[in-house]
Structure 1
Amino acid sequence: MDAAKERVTVLFLSFVSSNWRKFLIPIIIFAALLFFLFFPREQSNSANIVMSDQNPFPELIEEPKLEEIVVDDAPNLIIVDVKGAVLHPGVYTMQEGDRLVDAISAAGGYLPNADSRMLNHAMKLADEFVIYVPLEGEEVPESTLNVVSEPSSTPSTASEGSVNINTSDEAGLMTIPGIGPSKAAAIIAYREEHGLFSATTDLMKVSGIGQKTFDKLESFIKIK
C-alpha cells in the first residue's frame, strides 16, 4: 500500500515537473484578470475623485481685480462773517449750499433787540459773505441791507443794492459778496494811488481781482 502511494506521488510530481509551464501561463492570466477587474477600478475611481477637486491649469485662472471706488463726500467749505445783533458775532465756516439762517444759528441766534425784518433767511451763502444784523431803530445803509437780504439773481434788486466802489469805505466794500478784508483794502489802495474808477471793469486792475471774480461782483457794484 505504501509502495502504491509512493508510486502515485512520484507519477504526480513527474507530471507536474514536465507540464508546469502549461499550468503556469493560465494561472498568470487568471491572476492578471482578477487584478485589473477589481483592484485597479477602485483606485481609478478614487484618483478621479481627487483630481476633480483640483484645477489642472491653475496658472490660467485669473483672480478678479477689485476696483477701488473713491467717493469724495467732503463738502465745499465757505467762510462768512456775521456781525451786529447776534449772540456771538464772528467768522464762521459753513458748507456750500447753507442759507443765511444757518449762519445766524451758528452765531448763536439773534439778540432780543435785533431787527431781522429786512434779512432774507432763505438766501444762499457765498464765500467771504458779510451778514450784518441791525438793532431795532438802528439806521443802516440801504446797500448793506440789500446785499444780505436779496438774492443776486434778481437784476433790479442787485442794481438797487449795488455798492459804489468809488465812495465806499472798507466796511462798505466788504458788504459786497466775495469781497473780504484783503480785497477791500486793495481796492482802497488802488483808488488812493490811481484815482477813482472810470468804469466798473477797472476793478480788474486791482490785485487779486480777475475776470472770474469780476463776473461774480459785477451785479453788486457801481461807480456813480
Structure 2
Amino acid sequence: MARPSATATRPRLNRLRVLTAAVALADRIGIEALSMRRLAQELDVVPMALYKHVANKDQLLDGMVELLVTEIDPPATGVDWRTAIRLRVLSARRVLLRHPWGRAVLESRTSRTPAVLGYIDSVIGTFRAGGFSDELTHHVMHALGSRMWGFTQELFEEPAGPDTSGADGAGPTADGPSPQVQQAMLQALAQHFPNIAATVLTATHDDGTVVARGCDDQAEFEFALDLMLDGFERLRAEGWPRHPGR
C-alpha cells in the first residue's frame, strides 16, 4: 500500500490558516520582517499559493487585524455602560500586549474591514444603550480615539538621543542609552525645559506593561481612561448637549 504524500497529509490551505500563521510569525519575528515569501516558507508552500487567499500584503495586514479584533472580549452583559466600556478597552489593550506589532498595523490601515467596523459599531452601541445622545456619542468617540484599541499617542516619548557608541564605557546598552548618557540627556532637558524635566522625573514606569516606546504603562493608561469615563458620565447625566431655549 502506497504511503500518502506530504501534499496529501498537509492541512488544506485556507484564508484562516494563512492569517493565523501570519499573526504567529509576526509575534515571533516582528512585523517588519514579515513578508509573503517568509510566510510561504513558514507554511511550506510556494508564495503563489498565498495569493489565492490574500491578494497582497495590504490584504494580509487587514486580515491580521481582523484576527486581533476577534480576540477582544465581547461586550459584557448585565453591567452599566461605564463598566462595559472599561472592560472592552482593557481587553483590547491586553490583545496589543500579546501582539506588540498590532499598534503599528492598526495605525497604518486606511480601510475599515467588517470586523473593524463591527467593533466600532459595538462600542458606539454601548454608549447609546447607556443613555448617551447621538451627538454626545459622536464627541465621546473622538475623545476616546485610539484608546478604544488599547493604546494612546504618548506625550513623553523617549528621545532617540545622539550616537553614543564608543570605548569610554558610556556606549548604549541593549535596552537603550547607558545610564551616563541618560543622565546627561536629563540634565540638558532640565536646563532648557525645566517644566518637562520636572514632570518626567516624577514617575517610574514598568517596562513589562508597555505597548510601545514611551510612558504608556498600565497605571497611566487606566488613570486617563477613568478620567475620561468619569467626564463622559457627567455630560450624560447633565443631558448634554444642552441647547439654549429648549
Tell which structure's C-alpha radius of gyration is larger: 1
TMscore range, shorter length: under 0.3
| Structure possessing the higher relative contact order (Cα contacts under 8 Å, 6 or more residues apart) | 2
TM-score (norm 1): 0.22
Superposition TM-score, scaled by structure 2 size: 0.21
The structure carrying a bigger strand percent of its residues is 1
